[in-house]
Amino acid sequence: MTIQELPIKIYGLVSSSEPDHIRYIGKTKNKLKYRLQQHISQTSKKGRNTIKCNWIKSQIKKGYIISIIEIESCLQSNWVEREKYWIKFYKDSNHRLTNMTEGGDGVSTNIGESHPAFGKIGENSWNFGKNRKRNWDVSPPHLTKAKIKLIAMINPINDEVVTIFNSPKEAAFKMQISRFAIVNVAGGRRKTYYGYKWKYI
């Protein structure tokens, strides 16, 4: 496969506050879950005061979930054209994009540069239509000085990550289940709880 044939994903970022409203368009050659985690981690870095980062931080503070969806898979040879097309398309469709350019000026990054693999995450959280193939839900860390200990809820049948929570306490609150039981599974004292494995990441 030549460089021109390498697949590039055009993706969108959305918030659970407006699940049908895309707020950022980007591209990546890596798995979407890696790219989403990079976006989340960037918000905690000093000097990151872009419109996109400020939007992500505001949604996190309000308790909303940031998700990533695949809009189109294209090639290395035409991703610039396709990214520009989708940015214009969603702007013309009254989506309040946080993109600061018309597109085509991104820099590719390699898998694993920022975060380890989180595994494949569930596909059926929202229905975005025929051309939006996958959706990953992540409950990102709160932007505080406290040490963050993310925990993943994992399907024990295929070991796929269902979702990621900021902490066992957050998982227990949102799922309305026992925090102590979650911690026991994550600590290796039991195998599953509430039908899932739980693992610190």
Please state the domain extents for the chain. Answer: 3-138, 151-200
Nearest to 201 by CA among 176, 165, 169, 174: 165
Q: How far apart are the first and last CA of the chain?
A: 34
pLDDT per position as a tens digit, 63-118: 899 999 999 999 888 899 999 999 999 999 999 999 988 887 654 333 333 333 33
Instruction: Quote the percentage of the chain above a pLDDT of 90.
Output: 31
Report, at the CATH architecture level, how domain 3-138 is classified.
3-Layer(aba) Sandwich (3.40)
Is residue 126 very low, low, confident or very high in pLDDT (cuts 50, 70, 90)?
very low
Task: Spell out the residues 6+ positions from residue 178 whose beta carbon is closer than 8 angstroms to its own.
Answer: 172, 193
Give the predicted TM-score (pTM) of the model: 0.53
pLDDT of the residue at 143: 37
Q: Is the pLDDT of residue 198 over 90?
A: yes
Nearest to 86 by CA among 135, 77, 73: 73
Instruction: With beta carbons less than 8 A apart as the criterion, state whether 19 and 27 touch.
Output: no
Cα gap 198→181, rounded to integer Å: 10
Who has greater pLDDT, 112 or 187?
187
Is residue 5 very low, low, confident or very high in pLDDT (cuts 50, 70, 90)?
low
Cα gap 194→190, rounded to integer Å: 12
Burial of 12 (0-12, 13-18, 19+ CB in 10 A): buried
Q: Which two tokens stand for residue 96?
A: 């309040």
